[in-house]
Structure 1
Amino acid sequence: MCGIVGIVDARGRRDIDRQLLEKMNESQHHRGPDEGGIHIEPGVGFGHRRLSIIDLSSGQQPLFNEDGSVVVTYNGEIYNFPELMDELVKLGHTFRTHCDTEVIVHAWEQWGERCVDRFRGMFAFGVWDRNKQILFLGRDRLGVKPLYYAMLDDGMFIFSSELKALMAHPGLVRQIDPRAIEDYFAYGYVPEPKTIFTSAMKLPPGHTLTLRNGGLPEVNKYWDVPFKPHGDISDERAQEELIARLREAVDIRLVAEVPLGAFLSGGVDSSGVVAMMAGLTKEPVNTCSISFGDPKFNESEYAQKVAERYGTAHHVEQVDKDDFDLIDTLAALYDEPFADSSAIPTYRVCQLARKRVTVALSGDGGDENLAGYRRYRWHMYEERLRSTIPLAARKPIFGTLGQLYPKADWAPRVFRAKSTFEALARDSVEGYFHTVSIMNDKMRTRLFSDDFKRILNGYHADSVLQAHADNCPAEDALSLVQYLDLKTYLVGDILTKVDRASMAHALEVRVPLLDHKLVEWMSGLPPEMKLRGTEGKYIFKKGLEKYLPEDILYRDKMGFSVPLASWFRGPLKERIREALLGETLASTGIFDRAFLEEMLDHHHSGRRDYSAPLWTLLMFESFLRNLNGNWRM
């Protein structure tokens, strides 16, 4: 796994500042501590930081074709590179290495912009073709690997693996995008293709970017989740084929010339991946888990059961229940405001894994692809009610009930009808947006100052989901919300969290449940095989029954949570008050101070649980402090 960076003159062939390129490249040293490389020619500069995984003795980057006219800088793994290499050799191409990087160069020569169709893996890369005077960027289909870019005012185009490398360029204007702030306080992250700055963008998953001399960047989609039904398929056949396809996706991810292992949380997905690995390797699988002192958050006993069943070399470390010293570290790590508090244990499990392995397989992606989140059950329940009452009738009835019903954060979900009533007063996408929002519409309206609301000029964060819903190829309600999560939550939250946490420790994470061939196949399964009654991931769990015990498969999902509510009433009480009411947030003019004070007082007194909004604000304040005043609205 690596870090990439580039500077390309879109208006001519001006000299590239080598010192600046090296500075940008070194800002990502953590992504590739083994080696660094720089290539500069008129109007073009590529940089690379390498974490050596395959072909350790060669494969240094930037890497060239035979005559040096095509150069690539690349981050990721292309798992089908041996087959592609054989095919390209037969077509007359000559290889000097045995690494997947060189396949990209020759695939570009052979297939041009359609080369990405041939790659199976996780990747973000830049190719410069001197003869054609083209810069070509590609990002993998699900967004496992990140790719940022910006067109600067002086005509220089820059790209990188992390936003911090773009921020190292003095030409990047650090003007914060008000729409990104609205998005952040709704979702807890800044969704693709936006970044927190108006001047920079993320290349969306499944997209490429082409920059021709004198032109503007052309962004094109080359892949989407198809949701193409398989037709008649029995439960038994679906179970067998799903396990066979998962095994194959795991198998191709076991190639490495460095120590390899897996995360093992004790949940269904990571346990299923470990079970497949154990059947494919002769040596015991290295597995890593984090345990928590608080039993409400601790899954380590279940991870231990799986480890014992498969005889893994299992390693566990307990995270301090008050492990909040990482707050400022995370702000620097993510470059943008990022409010998923499970970034703390994710950082720790990556830290633990790196002590023993350089590559780790994870179970990410199972919930989105196979309907594992509890919110899918509630959404389908709400959809059944929506289908029986027209929106024109629902809106006034349930809107009024939502206003009148008391907020009951302390109660079991079944008794928290206020959120359900509010969701039922909306259409399907608006209702799902209400479900996934960290801060709902009413709360964000109170959070923002009148001046900031005028700046937003009516922009609303649900437009992110609406835009994806307009492109969704599926027609059923469950597939729609899965599609929305695949396009937003998975890439903007889950994969971003794991990429930054793992690369902070120079650890490569591979994600077999996001193999695009497996994802395509899973998307075509009937919705009732994914969510049957109240059982999410139904067909996956049935298929895994011969591999995992029942209490792994059918217990309630715990997640990777931290005790925010008690932190903000205890050891972080003063810190959160200082952050919310201090000069950093006050100077932005974004927030209504009276509402900030109300949230703090109600949370500290126990009247309301505002832990998620408070954490979101704390991470935003930490992000701003990390900029050291070098930003503007």
Structure 2
Amino acid sequence: MCGIAGIFHCGTPKPVDPSRLTRMCEAIAHRGPDGSGVWTAPGVGLGHRRLSIIDLAGSPQPMPSFDGRAMLVFNGEIYNFRELRRELEGLGARFRTHGDSETILAAWQQWGVDCLRRLQGMFAFAIYDLEKRELFLARDRLGVKPLFTALLSDGSLAFGSELKALLAHPLLRREVDPLAVEDYLAWGYVPDHRSILTGVEKLPAGHYRLLKHDASPAAPVRWWDVSFLERRRDKPEDLEAELLFHLREAVGSRMIADVPLGAFLSGGVDSSSVVALMSESSPEPVRTCSIGFDHASLDETSYARLVAERFHTDHRERIVSSDDFDEIDRLSGMFDEPFADASALPTWRVCQLARETVTVALSGDGADEAFAGYRRQSFHAAEERARALLPRWLRQSVFGTLGKYYPKADWAPRPLRAKTTFQSLASSGEEGYARALAVMPPEIRQTLYTDGFRRRLEGYRAEQPLLALMHRAPARSGLDRAQYADLAFWLPGDILTKVDRTSMAVGLEAREPLLDHRLVEFAASLPEKLRIRRGQGKWLLKHAMERYLPHSVLYRPKQGFVTPIAQWLRGPLASEARAIGRGARIARTGWFDGDRLSALAEAHISGKSDHSRFLWQMLMLDRSLRQLGVA
């Protein structure tokens, strides 16, 4: 796991200043504390920061191919590199090192862009071919590893693992994209089709770019996508056996490392399943870690401890204060772009705990997206059945009216929170799921903007890219489209961004075995009744793990990392909340109605309403603008 950076001149191959590359790499030094390197040639420069995981002394980067005709910088891990290496050696390739980096180079020289389909792992890399004089940028299938790019005023394309690397380049424009602000208010993060800064792009998951000196920058090309079009017809017990095979393969392949390795253990189904399978294949006790909170209602350590005792892991846990509000500046600095998922704070804390004893930690991320584990997916499947029974004109008339006048009632028991359901049923399935994913619906966002900012949006709504993605999804049902949206939109933009930045901030490599692409492809082929049954998501996964895990772990209500931001914004952060409307950086942008923001802040502080999610979003946006030095 590392950090990469580079500069490529798409027109005249001008010289690249090595000091610029050095500064870009220094900005992401936390991603690779074990080594660094810079290489330049006419019109191109590559930089690297290394976190040593495999072949600790023998794979420095930037790395030349054996014949010296290509140069690589690489962030990630290729889990099948040994098998690929044997195949390539049979085809005549020779190697100097024992790691996965040189294997990528040899695969590129043997198969060109088709080498991507042979790579199993997480990666973002750049290869410069000195003979063809072209640059090959690629990102893994599901977007586990990030890659930012920007076309600069001198005709060069700069790239890096984080926005920080690009910010270190003096020619990068620091102008906020208004569409990104609309996206952020809708989702709580800036999705992969956008960046907070105009002119900066993210290479999408499962895409590559091939750039030449004598041509304008080529658009990204998709090389992988998950399809929900096929349905397996095997017996459930056979599919369960196949699922366990894929799980064991995925976990086992991610246990290869030349440094201490462990696992995050929350006590939920996913992380507990990973630990169970690690214990099955490890001769030594698995090192596990978990964190709890000093509020009993937020604490899950008893479940983590139950799993740790069951598999005799070398378990460490730490109770952290839920009053960690004084760390929000450091937190916002990790992400560069505004990021309002409050679980980022405890995720960072568990990464810190893990890094005290290991350099690699396996996580349970990805199972909810792949196996339909989110409650919103079960609700959406039920709503789709209702949509199929009632014509749209009737749904719009009846449920549209109910959705308009029914009180929001966030304080009420879940069955009485019907407003969102009514609004969803009055819409198409795609529109309904977009509403379920959104942190803030469009009718609320519009009340926050000034007239001038609304004109800058030119009618754009954040839901539009998601609706287009769901419409063209390779899917057969509404549940398929919802899961496709989660895998292609939510997962790389929120979950994987959160884990990458918080783990890399402490020099920890996080691996996600439940996002092995073969496992994801298998899950996408399952009949719906093996994904959701009687409202229970991840049905086949849970049934398969019954031989390993107790019922109390498998079937307890889902609970994620929770941070008490509502209490913070009524207490120690009340002044920060008030400043959102008056005095904070975002109040001076002219984007938002200051009176409206102040009224929402006062209503929350007084306890009349709970606007904590919105206020947290605005607070993190303000911190991000401050970090970026814009607006």
The reply to whether TM is greater than 0.5 is yes
Segments of 5+ residues of structure 1 without an aligned counterpart are none
CA contact (8 A) 1:174 1:199 kept: no
Segments of 5+ residues of structure 2 without an aligned counterpart are none
Q: In structure 2, what is the Cα distance between the partners aligned to 1:361 and 1:480?
A: 28
- Aligned equivalent of 2:10: 10
CA deviations on 1:368-425 (whole Å, 9 max, x unpaired) are 0111111112212222222222222222322221121112111122101111111112
Q: In structure 1, what is the Cα distance between the partners aligned to 2:401 and 2:350?
A: 45
CA contact (8 A) 1:36 1:50 kept: yes
- Aligned equivalent of 2:260: 259
- Aligned equivalent of 2:328: 327
SS in structure 2 of the partner of residue 137 of structure 1: strand
Instruction: Output the amino acid matched with 2:320.
Output: V
Larger CA deviation: 321-330 vs 179-188: 321-330
Q: In structure 2, what is the Cα distance between the partners aligned to 1:108 and 1:239?
A: 36
CA contact (8 A) 1:423 1:432 kept: yes
SS in structure 2 of the partner of residue 123 of structure 1: strand
SS in structure 2 of the partner of residue 218 of structure 1: coil
1:618 to partner: Cα distance: 0.6
Q: In structure 2, what is the Cα distance between the partners aligned to 1:290 and 1:203?
A: 33
In the alignment, is residue 588 of structure 1 matched against residue 589 of structure 2?
Answer: yes
CA deviations on 1:97-149 (whole Å, 9 max, x unpaired) are 01100011111111111111110000000000011011000100000000111
CA contact (8 A) 2:229 2:476 kept: no
- Aligned equivalent of 1:390: 391
SS in structure 1 of the partner of residue 195 of structure 2: coil
- 1:155-166 to structure 2, matched below 5 A, reads 155-166=155-166
SS in structure 1 of the partner of residue 176 of structure 2: coil
SS in structure 1 of the partner of residue 326 of structure 2: coil
In the alignment, is residue 558 of structure 1 matched against residue 559 of structure 2?
Answer: yes
- 1:212-611 to structure 2, matched below 5 A, reads 212-215=212-215, 216-611=217-612
CA deviations on 1:518-541 (whole Å, 9 max, x unpaired) are 111111011110111210111111
CA contact (8 A) 1:2 1:75 kept: yes
CA deviations on 1:334-390 (whole Å, 9 max, x unpaired) are 010001000000000000000000000000001001111111122122222222222
1:601 to partner: Cα distance: 2.1
CA contact (8 A) 2:584 2:622 kept: no
CA contact (8 A) 1:264 1:288 kept: yes
Instruction: Output the amino acid matched with 2:121.
Output: G
Instruction: Output the amino acid matched with 1:438.
Output: V
SS in structure 2 of the partner of residue 23 of structure 1: helix
Q: In structure 2, what is the Cα distance between the partners aligned to 1:370 and 1:559?
A: 17
CA contact (8 A) 1:408 1:416 kept: yes
1:605 to partner: Cα distance: 2.6
SS in structure 2 of the partner of residue 159 of structure 1: strand
1:574 to partner: Cα distance: 1.7
Q: In structure 2, what is the Cα distance between the partners aligned to 1:25 and 1:507?
A: 18
CA deviations on 1:400-459 (whole Å, 9 max, x unpaired) are 211211121111221011111111121111111111111111210111111111110100
CA contact (8 A) 1:580 1:617 kept: no
CA deviations on 1:314-351 (whole Å, 9 max, x unpaired) are 01011102111221111111010001000000000000
Larger CA deviation: 553-562 vs 213-222: 213-222
- Aligned equivalent of 2:124: 124
TM-align CA RMSD:
1.1
CA contact (8 A) 1:79 1:120 kept: yes
Instruction: Output the amino acid matched with 1:457.
Output: E
Q: In structure 2, what is the Cα distance between the partners aligned to 1:66 and 1:316?
A: 46
Q: In structure 1, what is the Cα distance between the partners aligned to 2:599 and 2:420?
A: 20
Normalising by structure 2, we get a TM-score of 0.98
Number of residue pairs aligned between Structure 1 and Structure 2: 630
1:230 to partner: Cα distance: 4.4
CA contact (8 A) 1:580 1:618 kept: no
What is the identity percentage for the equivalent residue pairs of Structure 1 and Structure 2? 51
CA contact (8 A) 1:229 1:526 kept: no
Instruction: Output the amino acid matched with 2:464.
Output: S
- Aligned equivalent of 2:203: 203
Instruction: Output the amino acid matched with 1:259.
Output: P
Q: In structure 2, what is the Cα distance between the partners aligned to 1:18 and 1:569?
A: 49
SS in structure 2 of the partner of residue 500 of structure 1: helix
SS in structure 1 of the partner of residue 288 of structure 2: strand
Normalising by structure 1, we get a TM-score of 0.98
- Aligned equivalent of 1:136: 136
